[in-house]
Structure 1
Amino acid sequence: MDPKKALKDIKAGKPEPVYLCFGPEKYRRQGFVQDLTEAMFEPGDKEFAVSKFDLNETSLATVLQDAETLPFMVPRKLVIASNATFFTGAKDSSKVEHNLDKLLEYMASPVDYTVIVFTVDADKLDERKKVVKALKERDAALPFLSLNPDELKEWVQRRADQAGFVFQKEAVDQIILYTSGHLQALSAEIEKISLYVGQGGTATTDVIDQLVARSTEQNVFILIEDIVQLRLDRAFVILEELLKQKEEPIKIVVLIARQFRIMLQVKELSKQGYSHPQMASQIGLHPFAVKVAEGQAKKYDTAKLGQILSQLADLDYQMKSGRIDKVLGLELFLLKLGA
C-alpha cells in the first residue's frame, strides 16, 4: 500500500492492526510514524498510549504481549518496534530470538485497541517468508523509497515555501548535491538557511556554499562535477579545503576512483535500458546521485573512463610506494583530467 493511502485510512479511523515500514528513506518513515501518532491520539494521551521497543534488544514475544495488554487511561495504544530485521533476508545479528509464528497467530486474531508498527532500515523484504506475504496481502507493508530527482526538487521548494523563503533556481540543485539528496540532512539545512535569509529571503548559491556542511565524500563528488564542467578554479579550491582539513591524498584518490567507477557503471546500465531508480538500486546510490553521475559520464566514452581508472590505480601505487609526492601527484592528475 502507498503510505499516503495508509495514513488516509488511519485518519478515517480504519487502521490496520499491524504495519511494516521499510525502505531506504528513514526520514519519510519517521514522518509517517509521527503523522500516525498525531492522527490517533490527542497530545496529552501520547505518554500513556505509545510504547517503543528495539528488536535488537527485545523479543517479538514481549512486543506482542504489550500489544495485547489493555491500554491505561486511553482508549487505544500504539506499539512501535524498530530494527525488525527478521522481515528481510539479512542475517539477524541480535542475540534475541524472535518467533515469527507468534506474529502470524496475532495477525489472525489481533486486538482491536492496538496498532503495531514495525520499522526496518532495508530496501527489500524477504517475500519468501509467510509473515511478509501475510502483511502484503493486508496491504500493510509500506515502502518508503527515495524520491526521484524531480520529486526531490519539488520537496525542497515546498519546504522552503513552508519556511517562508525561496531558493534561487541553481541553488536547489546545489543543496541537493551538497547533501546527497538525503531528506534528514536537507531538512536540517533548510531550517538553518531559513533562519539566515529570514522571511521573504532568497537562498543563493553563495548562501549554500557558506552554510551547508559537506562530508569528504560529498566534497569529492562536487570536485569531480567541477572538473567535468571545466570549473578548474572551483575544483582546486575544494581540493585546497580538503588538504587544509588534513584529508589524506590517497583517500581522495580512492574517492575519485569510486566516482569514475560509478560513472562507468551508470553508462553501462543506461545502455541496457535501466531507469534511474533501477540503476540506483543496482549500484546502491540515491537516484539524484545517479542522475548527476549519468550527466558526468556523458562527457567521456567508455574507453576514456577505463583509461582514467587505470591512471588512478597507477597514481595510487606511486603514492603508496613513495615514487611521487602525494599532493603533487593529485594536483597533476586533476590538471590532466581538466585538460
Structure 2
Amino acid sequence: MRGKKCWKRVTAVLMAFMMLVGLVMTNGITSEAYWYNSEGERYPNVGYRTHVQSKGWERKLTLNGRTSGTVGAGKRLEAIQIIVEPGYGVGVEYRTHIQSKGWEKTWKKDGETSGTSGEAKRLEAIQIRLTGTNKNKYDIYYRVQAQTYGWLGWVKNGAYAGTAGQAKRLEAIQIIIMPKTDYPTDYEGFDGTIGGGFVDMGKNPTTNGSGAVSYMTHVQSYGNQKWVSDGSISGTSGEGKRLEAISIKVNNAQLNNISGGIAYTTHVQTYGWSQGWKYNGAASGTRGEGKRLEAIRIQLTGQLAQYYDVYYRVHAQTYGWLGWAKNGSIAGTSGLAKRLEAIQIVIIPKGEHAPNPLPAAPGAAAYVH
C-alpha cells in the first residue's frame, strides 16, 4: 500500500513557501503558492476559477484541490478557466458540456474560458487533460459536485466528470496535478473516492462503454440498452420498467493491466439464483420471458480481486436507490416480488472509500428482504 503523504492546504502553503513571481495568465489571474510532498518534491500548481450563478466570476484563483464554486447553495457553474504554472513543460486543455448546447466542439486551453457568461446556462460535465512535452510525467485529477449526487468520484486525464442526460447542474469543482501512481486520497485533507465521477444514462449514453467496468442491461419493452461505464446508470428511473438481464465486463488496460475478470449472478423471478455465475460479458437473466431481476451479486476474479473492490447498487421497485454493496454481497431484494429498475457499478482501488451514497439516503441498506 502507498504511504500517506503530507498534504498542505493552500493556507498553510502560503505561510511556508515562496510566492510565485508575476502573472501566469494574460487576463490577470495569478497563481499564489508552491506545493510539495513530504519528500520535498515540487509539483506544478494548477489554478482555476469558476463563473457561478448570480455571483459571477470568483475574484481569486483557487489552487491545488481546493473547492471552486459553491456547496449547498444550489448555484450552477456557468463557466471555468484553468491554468497550470509554467516551467514544468505541461499545459492544460479542457471542455465543458453546456445546457442545451452539449459538448463544446473545441477544447479551451491555458486560462481560456470554457462555458458561457450571461446566458444562464448550467455546466453539466467537464473533461480536463494535460498537454506539453512532460504531460506523461503527471496525472491531472478532478471531481465535481453535481446536483442531486453531491461530490462524485475523482477522475483523471480527460475522463468525463459530471452527468449526462439528466439536466443536472455542476455546482463545484476540485482539480489537482499529481505524479504518476499517486491518488488525491493519498494526501491528508482529501476525501472522496477514485472513479465513478460521471453518471450517464444507458438509454442514450455519451460514452462507449470503454471504462474500467462496463455493463449493459436488457430492459422491459426497450430491449438491450447501450453499454455504459464506471458508475453510470444502466436501466431506467421513474418508468416502472424491469431489468431482465445484464452483461458486465472489465477493461484490464484501465486497471493497470492487472490480470483477472468479473463474475456476477442474478436472482430472477421464479428461477431464483439457479443460473449460477456468469463471466466477462456473458448475459445473466432472461430475454423474452417477461421475468424481472430482483437481486444481483458481483465480484472480481484473479489478481484484480487483490487490488480492487467492485461496488454496485440498484434502483429497486418501491425502494428507489439502495445503498452500495461490494465484492459479492447481495444488492436488491428477495421475497418481496420487487423488480430491479437500474444499476450502477464502479471499480475502486483497495482501501479507498465507498462511492457517495447520494441520491440514496446515507446508510441505506443494499439488500432488503
Shorter-chain TM band: under 0.3
Structure with greater strand share of residues: 2
Pick the structure with greater CA Rg: 1
TM-score by length of 1: 0.26
Higher helix share: 1
Specify which structure has the bigger relative contact order, considering alpha-carbon pairs within 8 angstroms and separated by 6 or more residues: 1
